[in-house]
Structure 1
């Protein structure tokens, strides 16, 4: 991915080493959903909101779901005992910080444009960088939890050592694989803005475990599709290099429920899936990437 020298987002909050320093966000106002919904090709975001009964498998990212308004994890990854112990050189830390700030800026450009085309403003999320452990409006989490989005404060959280974990433990290397992870979390933010996550919180008490798992799969696949939309417009800018798309698809492959279960326990339990299979995650990322359209990401009205 050709990212160096491009704009870096100011929506970064650096809490590494218990640091409280950060930079001010753009401060855009919250999004207002028109009463009639947003329609493309006969599908409205309001429809997604109504049907979007969602669950994110929050237990697997180390956060009590009963304390949340709904959130999302990057990929249902098993915790690592060593991730918080990893050390990254200052030079590498600086490069990765610049990278995620640049990717975040690119997601801002894309989603500001997409939302503007739909008639309203995109409220940009903040990206919190932490090391070891972090406290959010959704509770406490450790580095082993992996990246996550908290709708309570509209922030994405990540310990940058996760990228080494992604490459070394889950065999998903490359800068566009890393960008896919961040774009997926921003996809959860988009879901929060259009009302999918608040609707889930309202309906969650009536869900059975089976319903939670099925709706969790649909929300995670939609976030993958939204990440693909970002990739679509990034490709249009000419920022992708040879092999970048394959890196993202490989990352989606490696963090599918079936692939993870085979790696960690040697067999799969389909009834326990809550993020989607490798094939599903690749399919929905590719759909967003190929179309660049919100209506193409309707995982609630279409077979997954």
Structure 2
């Protein structure tokens, strides 16, 4: 991507290299399916966490890009280049969504992005690297361990700056849904749905966030040759079917298949129009 001297967002906090305190707290904020734990805990662990995710969603947990994140450990300070990139991506989303909201006669209230190492505290409970990036609607903030970007490249075969920007833009997409009231409506609908129905609702929420990421990218003016291909590789790599390798029933999918995620991102990129992202209900 080409950001040049684009403004860096002030809504960014670097907590990397700090001790966040506390351990895993499953009382809220697990905005992910956590399918990547299959390699460490086996299929039974995956199914338990899928069900746990649904319950947490109904109680107000945040939405995330995918399950599982960095397996690295130990404090690691964010390097200046990555910090600048994350700030510029966030700044670009603020510019784009401010314009979109203004055109709709509303004012955009930005989210805040917290970069942390290993684990930290969020308004939704403990933030841990193994959870992957997520958005917490309680404190209106995004939590990302930057080591996840290395995992995205090495472990999932999805390198590139747009793949990383897609991660941030997807979580910003959840913030947009929060401002629109979509997350509250989805959680209310899940409360009266069975597990399969609740998961299907969550798939719609995640696909809309993917589509919103595409809308941002299309309007950002920062795309370069090869960026769209990077994004498509990332969307394909983190589909539920790809991550679980056919070991989990589609009824337990919460983020969408690779094909669905690619289509959602492509729809946003092609239209540049958030009204085309009518996945959530």
**Which TM-score tier does this pair reach, normalised by the shorter chain?**
0.7 to 0.9
Alignment of 1:202-221 (within 5 A): 202-221=188-207
**Shift in Å, 1:70:** 3.6
Alignment of 1:100-119 (within 5 A): 100-119=86-105
**Shift in Å, 1:15:** 1.7
Cα separation, partners in 2 of 1:120 and 1:141, compared to 1, 3 Å? same
Alignment of 1:234-245 (within 5 A): 234=220, 237=221, 239-245=222-228
Return the alpha-carbon distance in structure 1 between the equivalents of residues 203 and 149 of structure 2: 23
Cα separation, partners in 2 of 1:203 and 1:270, compared to 1, 3 Å? closer
Q: Does 1:74 align with 2:65?
A: yes
Runs of 5+ consecutive residues of structure 1 not aligned to the other structure:
21-54
Counterpart for residue 275 of structure 1: 255
**Shift in Å, 1:57:** 4.1
C-alpha offsets along residues 214-272 of structure 1, whole Å, 9 cap, x if unaligned?
A: 001100000000001001102xx2x222100100011000000111111xxx6452222
Alignment of 1:58-69 (within 5 A): 59=49, 65=56, 68-69=59-60
Return the alpha-carbon distance in structure 2 between the equivalents of residues 17 and 208 of structure 1: 41
Counterpart for residue 123 of structure 2: 137
Return the alpha-carbon distance in structure 1 between the equivalents of residues 16 and 63 of structure 2: 22
C-alpha offsets along residues 166-185 of structure 1, whole Å, 9 cap, x if unaligned?
A: 10011110000000010000
RMSD: 2.4
**Shift in Å, 1:276:** 0.3
Q: Give 3-state SS (helix, strand or coil) of 1:17's partner.
A: coil
Moved over 6 A (4+): none
Q: Give 3-state SS (helix, strand or coil) of 1:129's partner.
A: strand
C-alpha offsets along residues 164-221 of structure 1, whole Å, 9 cap, x if unaligned?
A: 0110011110000000010000000000000011223334432210111100110000
Alignment of 1:179-190 (within 5 A): 179-190=165-176
Alignment of 1:221-260 (within 5 A): 221-234=207-220, 237=221, 239-260=222-243
Counterpart for residue 24 of structure 1: none
Kept after mapping to 1: 8 A contact 2:207/2:279: yes
Kept after mapping to 2: 8 A contact 1:70/1:198: no
Kept after mapping to 1: 8 A contact 2:19/2:120: no
Runs of 5+ consecutive residues of structure 2 not aligned to the other structure:
21-30, 35-48
Range that drifts further, 179-188 or 202-211: 202-211
Question: How high is the TM-score relative to the length of structure 2?
Answer: 0.84
**Shift in Å, 1:106:** 0.4
Counterpart for residue 2 of structure 1: 2
Equivalenced residue count is: 256
Question: How high is the TM-score relative to the length of structure 1?
Answer: 0.78
Q: Give 3-state SS (helix, strand or coil) of 2:121's partner.
A: strand
Return the alpha-carbon distance in structure 1 between the equivalents of residues 212 and 87 of structure 2: 19
